[in-house]
Amino acid sequence: MFSLNLKIALRNLWRNKVITAINIGGLAIALAAFIIVTMYFTFETGFDRANPNYNEIYIIGRNLPDFKTNYTSPPLGKTIKAEVPEVVSVGTMKVSFFEIPVTSKNAVVFLSKCLYLDYEAAKMFNIKPSNGLVKPESTTQNLFYLSNENYKTLFPNNKNGVPELVGLGSRSSGMTAKLSGSVYADPHSNIAFDAISVVKEVGLGEGYGYNNYNTYIQVKPGTDIEALEAKVNAIYKREMIKADEDPNHETFKATSAFLDPLKNQHLKPKAGTGIGYKILMALSVLGILILVIACINFTNLSIAQAAKRAKEVGVKKVMGAYRFQLSLQFLTEILIQCLVSTVLGLIIAEIILPRFNNLFGVNLSIWTANSALLWQLPLILIFITLIAGVYPAMVLSGFKPALVLKGNFQKSKQSFWLQNGLLVFQFSIAVIFITGLLIINSQLTYMRTQDVGFKPAQVVYIKNLAYFASPGKFDPIRDRISKIPGVKSVTVANTIPDGSDGGKNSYTVDGKEQSLTFTGVDFDYFETLDIKIKEGRTFSREFKTDTVNSAILNEAAVAKYGLTHPIGKSIKGCQNKTYKIVGIIKDFKTLGFEKPVEPTIYSINDPCGNPKTEIMLKIEGSRMSEVLNTLKSQWPEINRLDGDNFRYQFLDEMYGRLFKKQEQLQSVFFAAAMLTVFIAMLGLFAFAKYITNSKIKEIAVRKILGASNLQIFKLINRTFLVMVVMANIISFPLAYILTKKWLETFAYRIDLPLLPFAMSAGLTILLTIITVSLQANSAVKANPVGALKYE
């Protein structure tokens, strides 16, 4: 029986080549998209799952009045370990993003993410160096490991990862360090590094004012996390009071400690925006919808062809076939098509996967032995077979033999409404995707063309190892660089405007205390970045006090304090340092468009901030290459600490990375919109073919009675146009709500425009008319005699 059903299935598929090709092709394209989305979802949700302590690790964070942070001070973890029995282990670590050249006889590597951690943290995160994890014997011992990749680059002939001596900084600096070996850096972990330094105790001697460490705890299985969080918060509050914090102060009352599980850190940390999670969810929904649309095509076309199979079903039922057997036969046909679609989908996915990997910065592969796709793919195949096939199989196997053999076959009203409803659903999704794509394009165009308040173009950021605590230390370097023809200005700061979030401190003006971001700058900072002054002046060498106690605020800081005449006022900050406000600058979007401009204070002198290391140059565009070549040749003399390791980046490229996530979303929506429209049009084309063929005699009669070609085109298009208009009416509210919610994630955004809605409606209606008219054209031009000669 199975072999007979298989032969019948293959024969029917071959007879209806066009419909079969549309079914298989549409489903294959949708499956390719769904396979890639499934792989990406598995990858993104799999971070740190290889860690045996995955479910018991939590990071301690702090709720502050204006923001949340995962940074805490070193003593907190030790106190929690000593007082809380539910905590098994406490690990402390600190990441240095300071880029350090490490050299050997063979090569040089640049460590941009060096992780300093204690032995307990290394053990907690299952870090296993080549010669085993060793606990440092004293507080002065430092076990330094390079990642396997970097170690092989420096020592290609050392296969065992044994200790080696390396140089730090330039080759001429003479600084060396002893490697303890190599270590595997899991690319699928939140604890990312290119080198680690294991010590007995991190942050030794630092108190509760040094909140720039990450504290992780490992708890006992089954621990009540809410109760534990309350204990941790109580300890944090108590220790802060001991550190001379005022418990009655508003800032203290609004501050608390929280616990965040390790499994949240990659996609939706409490101290983050959750943009990665939102992108993943958007991708997942798009992948599912595209697959559903393809399954709808399948279902619609299978039902549409029911009339051709009615007599076959009637004869088989008369001969004794059961409905179950007929359902199995039709499901076999659908399974064959789904199987072929799956194979084609894998081929298409393999072709487009490199582009997807490049867009999202991942390295997914279909053919890896441990790929979750090995068990996911059979489930997907069964799922689409059932979704696309169960209802058509029930419809086809449910025909009554007495009626269909008499020629009185008629599809049920339920099937008619289902077909039309599914077509409306298809076009509704397509309209939402098109509208969403147009609005995303509008927002991205706004972001690219809007004035961000400074000009990163022609500004070069030079990577540097030296600290410049005062202008006097930087002046010799500034003078040497300024003499190079083509250099317009030179400055140094503790951060660059590339989306980096600076450190915050409390500052008081007129008795009102607020939290401000501090940016340590030097002369010519505002001129180099072309930041506009609104009131007062910028820092100048003509005023000696500018290097001691002068400060500049941005508009957001002035608004936060509610100042009307800020120039000349005093502002007190870290270590009770008092500054005089000499200028107000216009706000500029250092954090991009998703976050509002941070209230910020700028000063040359700061007793508590990070050291100034970020050198920036404004260069004439026509002489850019010439200046960079000169800098490279003179850098060993200009900055001896860096020596021959001259490295630079263009600031506009660094700032442009802030748009990457939204550009990813734009690319995904573009692909999704194109796929949904394409698949919907395939289904519409096939469905129009069926409808036209079923009305061939009606068309012939109308032509004999004098109907024009235009009238017949209107007749055939009318039904489809009604459905497309209904799809637009249904989709507009959904598209409005979804795009409005997306736009609300931006601090600076466009007003929701109406044009994309009108354009998506016009596009879908136009495509419908073209698709249906192309299919109806042959029927309209056919000789009526051919359709009526047997009547």
Output the 3-class SS for 477-491. HHHHHHCCCCEEEEE
Cβ-Cβ contacts under 8 Å for 174 (sequence gap 6 or more) = none
| Chain-centre distance for alpha carbon 522 | 35
Low-confidence ranges of the chain (pLDDT < 70): 1-6, 8-9, 12-13, 16, 160-161, 172-173, 302-324, 326, 369-371, 389, 391-416, 418-419, 502, 609, 643, 686, 690, 693-694, 782-791
3-state secondary structure 239-281: HHHHCCCCCCCHHHHCCEEEEEEHHHCCCCCCCCCCHHHHHHH
Instruction: State the pLDDT at residue 317.
Output: 64
Q: What is the pLDDT of residues 38-59, one digit of tens each?
A: 889 989 998 999 898 999 999 9
| H helix or E strand, kind and range, residue 392 | helix 373-397
| Chain-centre distance for alpha carbon 373 | 22
3-state secondary structure 526-550: HHHCCCCEEEECCCCCCCHHHHCCE
Long-range residue pairs from 373-379, CB within 8 A, at least 24 positions apart, any chain: 373/35, 373/38, 373/39, 373/42, 376/38, 376/42, 377/35, 377/342, 377/346
Q: Which residue has the tokens 């929701």?
A: 752
The terminus-to-terminus CA distance of the chain in angstroms comes to 39
Q: Where are the beta strands (DSSP E) in 84-194?
A: 87-96, 100-103, 108-111, 114-118, 142-147, 165-168, 176-183
Instruction: State the pLDDT at residue 536.
Output: 93
Cβ-Cβ contacts under 8 Å for 366 (sequence gap 6 or more) = 35, 39, 346, 349, 350, 353, 373
Instruction: State the pLDDT at residue 57.
Output: 95
SS3 129: strand
Would you state the structure tokens that stand for residue 526, as one six-digit string? 């505002």
Would you state the structure tokens that stand for residue 688, as one six-digit string? 């129009």
Instruction: State the pLDDT at residue 253.
Output: 80
Cβ-Cβ contacts under 8 Å for 28 (sequence gap 6 or more) = 340, 341, 342, 344, 345, 348
Torsion of CA 241, 244, 246, 252, to 10 degrees: -60
Q: How many CB atoms lie within 10 A of CB 119?
A: 19
Would you state the structure tokens that stand for residue 633, as one six-digit string? 């040749």
Instruction: State the pLDDT at residue 568.
Output: 92
Q: How many CB atoms lie within 10 A of CB 692?
A: 18
C-alpha to C-alpha distance for 383 and 790, rounded to whole angstroms? 45
Instruction: State the pLDDT at residue 371.
Output: 67
Instruction: State the pLDDT at residue 161.
Output: 64
Any idea what DSSP says for residue 610?
A: P
pTM, rounded to two decimals: 0.81
Would you state the structure tokens that stand for residue 212, as one six-digit string? 């720039």
Cβ-Cβ contacts under 8 Å for 346 (sequence gap 6 or more) = 32, 35, 366, 377
Instruction: State the pLDDT at residue 333.
Output: 76
Instruction: State the pLDDT at residue 588.
Output: 92
3-state secondary structure 149-160: HHHHHHCCCCCC
C-alpha to C-alpha distance for 750 and 439, rounded to whole angstroms? 9
3-state secondary structure 448-508: HHCCCCCCCCCEEEECCCCCCCCHHHHHHHHHHHHCCCCEEEEEEECCCCCCCCCCEEEEE
Residue 488: Cβ-neighbour burial (10 angstroms; 0-12, 13-18, 19+): middle
Instruction: State the pLDDT at residue 115.
Output: 92
Q: Which residue has the tokens 């660094």?
A: 654
- Calculate the alpha carbon distances from 755 to 246, 618, 752 in Å: 55, 41, 9
On whether the CB atoms of residues 169 and 175 are closer than 8 A, the answer is yes
